[in-house]
Amino acid sequence: MTVALEELRTLRDTGRLAAGYPRVAALLAELTDTADRPDAETADELRRCGGLLARLRPQDVLAHHPDTPVATVAVTGHSGTAQLTDPLVAELARHGLLPRLVTGDHGAYLRDLTDPDSPLRRCGPQLTLCVLGADAVHDELRAPWTVADAEQAWHRLLDRLHAVAAAHHADGTGALVLTTLPLPRRLTHQIVDQQQRALLGAVWRECNARLLRLTAEHPALTVVDLDPLVGESGPATDPRLALYARSALSPAILSALAREAVHVLRARQGLTKKCLVLDLDNTLWDGVLGDDGPDGIACGATLRGEPYAALQRVAKQLAAQGVLLAVSSKNDPGPVAGVLRDHPDMTLRADDFVSVQAGWQPKDAALRDIAGRLGIAADALVFADDTAAERALVRHRVPGAAVVPLGREPARHVDRLLADGWFDTPTVTDDDRHRVRHYRAAADRSRLREAGGSYEQYLRELGIELDISPPRRHELHRMSQLSLRTNQFNLTGERVPPERMAALCADPRQLPLAVRVRDRYGDSGLVGAVLARRDGAALHIDNFFLSCRVLARGVEHGCVSALLAHARDRGLSAVGARHRATRSNGRTRGFYPSLGFVPRATDTGEETHYRHDLAEIPGPPGHLSVRADFEGDTDAC
CATH of the domain at 582: 3.40.630.30
Residue 461 sits in the same domain as residue 600: yes
Whether residues 86 and 234 share a domain: the answer is yes
CATH number at residue 380: 3.40.50.1000
Which among 100, 145, 142, 106 has a CA at the least distance from the CA of 124?
100
Report d(CA 360, CA 353) in Å as an integer: 19
**Phi, then psi, of 96 in degrees rounded to 5:** 80, 15
pLDDT at position 558, please?
Answer: 96
Distance CA 395, CA 359 (A): 20
User: Is the confidence at residue 446, as pLDDT, over 90?
Assistant: no
Element (H, E) at 534: strand 522-535
Residue 95: phi, psi to the nearest 5? -100, 20
Integer Cα distance of 529 and 492 in angstroms: 13
How do residues 321-348 score in pLDDT, each as one tens digit? 999 999 999 999 999 999 999 999 999 9
φ/ψ region of 605 (left if φ > 0, alpha if ψ in -120 to 50, else beta) reads left
CB atoms within 10 A of CB 446: 12
For residues 231 and 593, give the distance between their C-alpha atoms in angstroms, rounded to a whole number: 57
Q: Are strands 221-224 and 402-405 parallel, antiparallel or unpaired?
A: unpaired
- Residues 568 and 454 grouped into a single domain: yes
Residue at 148 is within a domain:
yes
DSSP one-letter string for 458-516: HHHHHTEEEEEEPPBGGGHHHHHHHHHH--TTBSS-----HHHHHHHHH-TTEEEEEEE
Q: Binning pLDDT at 50, 70 and 90, where does residue 270 land? A: confident
Pair 249, 117 in one domain: yes
Same domain, residue pair 199 and 308: no
Which residues have C-beta within 8 Å of that of residue 262, sequence separation ≥ 6?
Answer: 88, 91, 92, 94, 95, 97
- Select from 497, 549, 500, 552 the least CA-distant residue to 527: 549
In a domain, 214, yes or no: yes
Give the confidence band of 21 by pLDDT, cuts at 50, 70, 90: very high
Q: What pLDDT, in 10s, does the model give residues 382-416?
A: 999 999 999 999 999 998 899 999 988 999 999 99
pLDDT in the model for residue 473: 87
Q: Which amino acid is at 144?
A: P
Instruction: Indicate whether 495 pLDDT > 70.
Output: yes
Judged against a pLDDT cut of 70, whether residue 8 lies above it is answered with yes
With 80 as the cut, is the pLDDT of residue 147 above it?
yes
SS3 percent helix, strand, coil of the chain, rounded to 5, is: 45, 20, 35
Domain membership of residue 23 (yes or no) is no
Has residue 465 been placed in a domain?
Answer: yes
For residue 297, the one-letter residue type is: I
- Does residue 438 or residue 468 have the better pLDDT? 468
Structural domain ending residue among the three candidates 268, 303, 329: 268
How many angstroms separate the CA atoms of 134 and 237, rounded? 9
How far is residue 260's CA from residue 102's CA, in Å, rounded to a whole number? Answer: 18
Residue 581 lies in a domain: yes
Give the max Cα distance, the chain: 85
For 331, half-sphere exposure in the C-beta direction (CA atoms, 13 angstrom radius) is 26
Contact 275, 398 (CB under 8 A): no
Same structural domain for residues 462 and 375? no
- What domain range includes position 620? 445-628
Identify whether residues 264 and 285 lie together within a single domain. Answer: no
Query: What is the pairing mode between strands 175-179 and 127-131?
Result: parallel
371 vs 119, 377, 398, CA distance in Å? Answer: 43, 6, 11
pLDDT recorded at residue 226: 95
d(CA 545, CA 522): 21
What pLDDT is attached to residue 453? 82
Helix (H, G, I), strand (E, B) or coil at 186: helix
Q: Is residue 636 part of a domain?
A: no
What SS3 class is residue 93? helix
Tens of pLDDT, residue by residue over 568-609, are 999 999 999 999 998 888 889 999 999 999 998 666 667 899
d(CA 358, CA 370): 11
Tell me whether residue 15 is in a domain.
Answer: no
Q: Cα–Cα distance between 220 and 170 in angstroms, integer?
A: 10
d(CA 551, CA 262): 31
Q: Are both 115 and 254 inside the same structural domain? A: yes
CATH of the domain at 187: 3.40.50.1110
Distance CA 558, CA 568 (A): 15
3-state DSSP of 417-455: HHCCCCCCCCCCCHHHHCHHHHHHHHHHHHHHHHCCCCH
At 506, the pLDDT band (50, 70, 90 cuts) reads: confident
Mean pLDDT, the chain, whole residue set = 91
Residue 635 has pLDDT above 70, yes or no: no
CB atoms within 10 A of CB 44: 15
177-221 pLDDT, tens per residue?
Answer: 999 999 999 999 999 999 999 999 999 999 999 999 999 888 889
Is 60 among the domain residues?
A: no
Residue 135 has pLDDT above 80, yes or no: yes
Domain boundary, last residue among 200, 235, 268: 268
pLDDT in tens, 93-128: 999 999 999 998 878 899 999 988 899 888 989 999
- In this prediction, residue 4 carries a pLDDT of 85
- Alpha carbon distances (Å) from 115 to 112, 164, 170, 370: 6, 10, 12, 49
Q: Which residues of 408-441 are buried (b: 16+ CB within 10 A; e: fewer)?
A: eebebbbebbebbbbbbbbeebebbebbbebbeb
Separation of alpha carbons 312 and 283, rounded Å: 9
- The answer to whether residues 73 and 129 touch, using CB atoms and an 8 Å cutoff, is yes
State yes or no: pLDDT of 379 exceeds 70. Answer: yes
Looking at the structure, do residues 238 and 284 belong to the same domain, yes or no?
no
Same domain, 397 and 497: no
Cα pseudo-dihedral 337, 338, 343, 347, rounded to 10:
10
DSSP letter string, 355-418: EEEESSS-HHHHHHHHHHHHT--GGGEEEEES-HHHHHHHHHHSTT-EEEE--S-GGGHHHHHH
CA 142 to chain centre: 43
Q: Between residues 37 and 599, which one has the greater pLDDT?
A: 599
| Number of folded domains that form the chain | 3
- 253 in the same domain as 311: no
Three-state secondary structure call for residue 599:
strand
From CA 623, how far away is CA 555, in angstroms rounded?
10
Q: Check the CA dihedral 561-567-571-575 and report its sign.
A: negative
CA–CA distance, 214 with 225 (Å, rounded to integer): 12
Please tell me the predicted confidence (pLDDT) of residue 170.
Answer: 79
- Phi-psi sector, 293: left (phi>0), alpha (psi -120 to 50), beta: left
Please tell me the total number of residues recorded for the chain in this structure. 637
Cα-atom radius of gyration of the chain, to the nearest Å? 27
Q: Which of 403, 418, 433 is the last residue of a domain?
A: 418
Does one domain contain both 353 and 214? no
Q: Give 523 or 383, the one with higher predicted confidence.
A: 383
Closest to 99 (Cα-Cα) out of 2, 21, 8: 21
Q: How far is CA 377 from the centre of its chain?
A: 15
Contacts of 560 (CB under 8 A, 6+ apart): 530, 541, 544, 592, 595
Name the strand (E) or helix (H) holding 329.
strand 324-329
